[in-house]
Amino acid sequence: MEGTTEKTGGMAFDVILKPASSDAAPPHVTGSPTKERPLSQGDIERKLKEAEERRLVIYCLLFIC
């Protein structure tokens, strides 16, 4: 193979990178997703309760069954 050399630990490859071109479009950067509304205290408590229930189900499946 052209561009490779044999070494004692395996093969080494010569990597040739193409120079940067100015005609390429810059990558599209997106910001973080926007939230519809801020979470209320009740929403936070409900989510914490649901997460605890999921943890209990996983615990039961792993250690009890």
What single-letter DSSP state applies at residue 37? S
d(CA 35, CA 57): 29
When pLDDT is cut at 50, 70 and 90, the band that residue 10 belongs to is confident
Q: What is the pLDDT of residues 11-46, one digit of tens each?
A: 777 787 877 777 767 677 777 766 677 889 999 999
The domain limits of the chain are: 40-65
Tell me, rounded to whole angstroms, the distance of Cα 13 from its chain centroid: 29
Higher-pLDDT residue of 8, 19: 19
- Of 62, 37, 41, give the one whose Cα is nearest residue 49: 41
